[in-house]
Amino acid sequence: MMPNITRGGQMGGLMVYLAGAGKSNEHEEQHLVAGNSAVVTMHGYGVLDRDTALAIAKDLDEPRVKLGVEVTRQARITDPDTGESITTRVAADVWHCSLSLRAEEGQLSDEKWGAISQDFVDRMGFTEASGKADCRWVAVRHGLSTNGNDHVHIAVSLVREDGTKAPTHNDFKQAQGICRDLERDYGLEQLESRERGIGERGIKPAEQARAHRTGTEVEAHKLERIVRSASVASLDEGEFVRRMRHGGALVRPRFAAGRDDVVAGYSVALRPEKGAQPVWYGGGRLARDLTLPRMREGWPDSPQSAQGAVDEWRATSKNPWQYRPVAPGREETTPDPKLWKQYTDEIKQLRVQMREIPFEDRAGWAHLARDTAGAFAAWSQRVEATPGPLAQTARDLSRTAQIRAHESKPKPAGRVSVAGATMMLLQASTQGQGTMAEAIMLRQLASTVKAVMDMHTAIGDAQRASQLDRTLREQYSQVRDRLPAIVRAETGQTNNAMPTPAEGLDPELAKIVQAAQRGQVVPGTGSPVPTRIESHKPQTTVTPNERDGHER
């Protein structure tokens, strides 16, 4: 359940809007579901019209008007005469909060929303439950939002019955915590565990509205996928900068104060439509684990790599629209198909190393989840024209990586990297080959998801374990069904059953890969998975000996 708070304005204007048709005529059967007893007794639970809404607003506003109390806050406004921005005091006695469920959660009854609303205002300190005089308030319900979310609006007058003012300091954080408690108390889907500090960054209503209006994906989600795949596929920071631009993002650095050789952060944006301005997102806005300091924990730290990164960042800062890489690298090449098996084997080695990570080592599991999520994000970026099961798997898994900054630490030396596998999934040109290898790599990636799920089970995080279990059963199955069936070379039988993620790679599957590399026809190796990578002019091919950017 997500809270969305606004302050200020006129109570009459707010109530007329809540009783009205809505911006897209989405409001239906507007009515009260709760409120302080006097207002509810007077106006009841019938469908609201404009006159009733104004009468309710007048009742809510009565203590402020009769007692002559003003509640104001400092704000920046534009002077209508001069056009200059000035600081002034504006009215702030109206407090409005919407509580909404995810569309997938369905709808609650009026009675349940009424109980939730009453508990919410009690815990926010707006009622006599706080030991102070009541604030007048109502909860209005008017059907689903344009995105299908069941929700309720709570309007509160911040002047109490005795003329004192209700404080709103830190109200959003307080409301978030109360919502987590109410989720548990009322058996609702818990967004994430507040105590464990795991969770996604919130999407602002304006961002949701823009995506709905244009019929597109929320920009922050698309950018997260681009940045996540670029981060995991890159061997150093300079390559990361180039890959973000290669993935379609505009990039700009944030230099340390007074410096142009120390980068403290970055922002990314999608190319806007002609005439529009780009909307920039800092890495931390996309996800906790996509800040520059957090990503640097997985890259080498040397004078050479640092200088290479600064060169690329400087190039982007001159003109994000016209950025040209200073030192193009692996991202410009087509990987050698023979690398599929090598990188799949590395994921298998990673599974062995996972057994040594204690369940309580949150940083270690965060690195594992982040890398695996990056691989799925890269795969999605290459083959999914619109967000599909690969994108959803990446998002589900990435939540485990989003721990608090003080809990994070650099990736241990010697830990197997999935940068190679992610690079293959991001760049590979299938062209009738390699899809069987993708199916085999999928099995290994699924096993890492299963390991993360087992970790959450072991530490008692049933919600996250259940979510990842659904991911394996639903999203994994969709991806598997779009890839060639895995054919057992010796028996000739097609294995269409979902493989147990914890299983090892079938030894005979290596023969399938070898047969495909020799050009032999293997049943089921046609590619039903669309790819955005098409034939280009001759390109350099990365060979196994050059896979890390160095001769061996």
Which CATH number characterizes residue 19's domain? 3.30.930
Whether the predicted model's global pTM rises above the 0.85 cut: no
- Same domain, yes or no, for 137 and 56? yes
Residue 261 within any structural domain of the chain: yes
pLDDT above 70 for 295: yes
CB neighbours of 328 closer than 8 A, spacing ≥ 6? 242
pLDDT above 50 for 471: yes
- Same domain, yes or no, for 359 and 413? yes
pLDDT above 50 for 197: no
Instruction: Please tell me the predicted confidence (pLDDT) of residue 57.
Output: 94
- Same domain, yes or no, for 34 and 171? yes
- Same domain, yes or no, for 18 and 110? yes
From 441, 459, 479, the end of a domain falls on 479
Q: How far apart are CA 533 and CA 527, in angstroms?
A: 13
Across residues 194-207, what is the average pLDDT?
50
Instruction: Please tell me the predicted confidence (pLDDT) of residue 152.
Output: 93
Residue 322: exposure state from Cβ atoms within 10 A (0-12, 13-18, ≥19): exposed
Across residues 173-189, what is the average pLDDT?
85
Task: Give residue 346's pLDDT band: very low, low, confident or very high (50, 70, 90).
Answer: confident
Instruction: Please tell me the predicted confidence (pLDDT) of residue 132.
Output: 92
Across residues 442-471, what is the average pLDDT?
81
- Same domain, yes or no, for 64 and 163? yes
pLDDT above 70 for 541: no
Tokens of 529: 């998975």
Q: How far apart are CA 143 and CA 108, in angstroms?
A: 11
Residue 306 within any structural domain of the chain: yes
- Same domain, yes or no, for 134 and 14? yes
Residue 200 within any structural domain of the chain: no
Tokens of 306: 């640092």
Q: Compute how many other C-beta atoms are within 10 angstroms of the C-beta atom of residue 324.
A: 11
Question: Helices marked H in 76-144 — which ranges?
Answer: 110-124
Residue 93 within any structural domain of the chain: yes
Residue 118 within any structural domain of the chain: yes
- Same domain, yes or no, for 180 and 112? yes
- 471: DSSP letter: I
Task: Give residue 334's pLDDT band: very low, low, confident or very high (50, 70, 90).
Answer: confident
Query: What percent of the chain is predicted at pLDDT more than 70?
Result: 79
Q: Which of 142-146, 181-185, 528-532 is predicted least confidently? A: 528-532
Assess contact for 240 and 250: CB atoms under 8 A. no
Please choose, from the candidates 346, 347, 459, the residue with its C-alpha nearest in 3D space to the C-alpha of residue 403.
459
Instruction: Please tell me the predicted confidence (pLDDT) of residue 136.
Output: 95
Q: Which of 6-15, 67-76, 261-270, 296-305 is predicted least confidently? A: 67-76
Across residues 183-192, what is the average pLDDT?
73
**Domain encompassing residue 359:** 335-479
Q: What angle do CA 458, 463, 467 make, to 5 degrees?
A: 100
- Same domain, yes or no, for 371 and 325? no
pLDDT above 50 for 184: yes
Q: How far apart are the first and last CA of the chain?
A: 54
pLDDT above 50 for 549: no
- Same domain, yes or no, for 321 and 355? no
pLDDT above 60 for 350: yes
pLDDT above 90 for 200: no
Instruction: Please tell me the predicted confidence (pLDDT) of residue 309.
Output: 93
Q: How far apart are CA 339 and CA 441, in angstroms?
A: 11
Residue 517 within any structural domain of the chain: no
Across residues 122-126, what is the average pLDDT?
94
Across residues 29-51, what is the average pLDDT?
88
Assess contact for 260 and 409: CB atoms under 8 A. no
Across residues 305-322, what is the average pLDDT?
91
Q: Which of 51-65, 310-324, 509-523 is predicted least confidently? A: 509-523
Instruction: Please tell me the predicted confidence (pLDDT) of residue 149.
Output: 80
Instruction: Please tell me the predicted confidence (pLDDT) of residue 66.
Output: 92
Please choose, from the candidates 373, 354, 352, the residue with its C-alpha nearest in 3D space to the C-alpha of residue 364.
354
Q: How far apart are CA 1 and CA 3, in angstroms?
A: 7
pLDDT tens for 366-381 read 888 888 888 888 888 8
Q: Which H or E run contains 249?
A: strand 249-255
pLDDT above 90 for 357: no
pLDDT tens for 233-288 read 999 999 999 999 989 999 999 888 888 889 988 999 998 888 788 888 888 888 88
Across residues 489-517, what is the average pLDDT?
38
pLDDT tens for 406-442 read 788 888 777 777 888 888 888 875 443 446 777 778 7
Residue 406 within any structural domain of the chain: yes
Instruction: Please tell me the predicted confidence (pLDDT) of residue 494.
Output: 43
Across residues 345-363, what is the average pLDDT?
84
Assess contact for 444 and 500: CB atoms under 8 A. no
Helix axes 509-517, 339-354, angle to 10 degrees: 160
Assess contact for 509 and 440: CB atoms under 8 A. yes
Strand partners of residue 140: 32, 153
Across residues 222-238, what is the average pLDDT?
93
Q: How many domains does the chain have?
A: 3
Instruction: Please tell me the predicted confidence (pLDDT) of residue 547.
Output: 37
Q: Which of 109-113, 324-328, 495-499, 511-515 is predicted least confidently? A: 495-499
- Same domain, yes or no, for 131 and 62? yes
Residue 499 within any structural domain of the chain: no
- Same domain, yes or no, for 141 and 14? yes
Instruction: Please tell me the predicted confidence (pLDDT) of residue 419.
Output: 85
From 297, 329, 361, the end of a domain falls on 329
- Same domain, yes or no, for 31 and 134? yes
Supply the mean pLDDT for the chain.
78
Q: Which of 39-48, 214-223, 297-306 is predicted least confidently? A: 214-223
Strand partners of residue 73: 90
From 154, 189, 224, the end of a domain falls on 189
pLDDT above 60 for 542: no
Q: What are phi and psi of 546, to 5 degrees?
A: -115, 10
pLDDT above 60 for 477: yes
Q: What are phi and psi of 253, to 5 degrees?
A: -90, 165
Pairwise pLDDT comparison (386 vs 263), residue with the higher score: 263
Instruction: Please tell me the predicted confidence (pLDDT) of residue 497.
Output: 36
Task: Give residue 107's pLDDT band: very low, low, confident or very high (50, 70, 90).
Answer: confident
